[in-house]
Structure formats: structure tokens, C-alpha cells
Amino acid sequence: MLDLISLWALPVIIVFILTFALIKKVPLYETFTDGAKDGFKVAVNIIPYLVAIIVCISMLRASGAVEMLANCLSGILTRFNIPAEVLPVIFVRPLSGSAALGLFSDIATVDVNSYATQLSAVMVGSSETTFYVLAVYFGSVGITRYRYALWVGILADIIAAVMSIVVCSYIFL
């Protein structure tokens, strides 16, 4: 039953919106093109923020700083059941979802059923790309003062990492 609902949900929604628009005599094509123009403007406005994030991620990965930190903290990480290869995921996830998925896929190719893969999967699934969200969404509407959004996002990422470690230690070890 769920397969049938998921198969037909989007087409039904689209037909409903188009039918409702026709009943209300909304000019469909003009409205669509106006929305596309606004979307293009937003995309152009967020390009500098995206470039800054991509450059930062590339510099971190290319410099080996995260891997070096993981090697330095390997004793503490072992004590808390955190594989050293998971540390880059913890640090990169708040910056970029695609970079975190890239790191996760590197871990998963070694052994799909390993504790490191399971912990990384839970961390990627339970945390947010805080800096990406701030840069793209706040930047697209022109908000430059983040106030508490940055600190709440970082706190949420820390809690997600800690709880992922606790839950995975309990379930998988």
C-alpha cells in the first residue's frame, strides 16, 4: 500500500495544483517563469558563499589537517569507541554534506559492516550541514548577522556526534 501511495503522491499533488490554478484562473506559464527567474537570482546570490565553503573544504582535505588531528587524538578516540577514520566525518559534516558523504563512502568501501561505517552512517544521518545552511539560506535572503543560529547549530552538531557515539556503542559494540 505504501509503495502505491509513494508512486502516485507526486503526480496527484502536481495535478491538484495545476487544476486548482486553472480554477482560480492563475496564469500558469507566467507564474512558472517568474518563479524560475527568482530561483535564478537566488542561485546567483549564493555563489560566493558556496565558493567559500568549497575552498575551505578543499583546503582542509588537501592539507591533511583533519587526518593529522585524528592521529594525534587516536588515544582519546579509542577510549570513547571512536575509530580514527570517523573523526574527519565529525568535523566535515557541519561544513558540507557532499564532502561528508565522500568521506563516508571512503570508510564504507573498506568494510560495509564495520563499526566505523555504522557510526559514520549514523553521524551523517543525524547531523546537519550547519555552515552550509547558514551560508546558503541566510545568504540567499541577505541575512548577515546570524545571532544565535550559529551557536545553536554547532551545539546541535556536537550533540548529534555525542549521541551517535553513545547509541552506536550501545547497539553495535
CA 106/CA 85 separation, integer angstroms: 9
Is the pLDDT at 141 greater than 90? The verdict is no
Place of cell 568521506: 103
Which pLDDT score is estimated for 165?
94
Residue 143 gets the label, from left (phi > 0), alpha (psi -120 to 50) or beta, of beta
Which pLDDT score is estimated for 92?
84
pLDDT band at 106; cut points 50, 70, 90? confident
Identify whether the C-beta of residue 100 lies closer than 8 Å to the C-beta of residue 93: yes
**38-85 residue pLDDT tens:** 888 877 877 887 787 778 777 877 888 877 887 788 888 888 889 988
Per residue in 92-112, is it b (16+ CB within 10 Å) or e — as a string? bbbbbbebbbebbeebbeeee
Give the number of other Cβ atoms within 10 Å of residue 83's Cβ.
Answer: 18
CA 42/CA 139 separation, integer angstroms: 9
CA 58/CA 65 separation, integer angstroms: 11
- Half-sphere exposure (Cβ direction) of 108: Cα atoms closer than 13 Å: 13
CA 110 to the chain's CA centroid: 23
Q: Give the closest residue to 94 by CA, choosing from 129, 61, 43, 122.
A: 129
Is the pLDDT at 98 greater than 90? The verdict is no
Mean pLDDT computed over 15-40: 90
**Domain boundaries in the chain?**
44-172
